[in-house]
Amino acid sequence: MAVCDVCGREMLEASTCTERTVELVDGRYERIRFGAEGLRIDSDTCDDCGVVRGALHHPGCDVERCPRCGDQQSSCDCFETWDDA
Ligand SMILES: [Zn+2]
Ligand SMILES: [Zn+2]
Ligand SMILES: [Zn+2]
């Protein structure tokens, strides 16, 4: 089991995360809640991070979409990178 670094709760037990926005390359965006991804998801809880419908995913969840590009948040390029500053 893993503890979320953002909300400090056990991921599969916390029904929502607490961080409502995410900082991306050109500013802060409202995060997309579970059920608002535009995907067909039948279960009431997120298969990956376990949150309930309408709740915020824990960061790093494979189901979460990026509010900027609409791709999978965990694999898109919208996060600020600091290495080449
Ligand atoms: Zn969390
Ligand atoms: Zn999730
Ligand atoms: Zn993105």
Domain count, the chain: 1
Report CA(83)–ligand 1 centroid distance (Å).
26
Looking at residue 83, its pLDDT comes to 63
Q: Is a pLDDT exceeding 80 seen at residue 84?
A: no
In this predicted model, what pLDDT tens digit does every residue of 6-38 receive, in sequence order? 999 999 899 999 999 999 999 999 999 999 988
Q: Could you tell me where the beta strands, DSSP code E, fall in 25-84?
A: 27-30
- DSSP character for 57? P
Distance, CA of 14 to CA of 80 (rounded, Å)? 27
Report CA(57)–ligand 1 centroid distance (Å).
7
Report CA(46)–ligand 3 centroid distance (Å).
20
User: Quick one: residue 55, left, alpha or beta (phi over 0 = left, psi -120 to 50 = alpha)?
Assistant: beta
- DSSP character for 56? P
**Residue 39 lies in domain:** 1-85
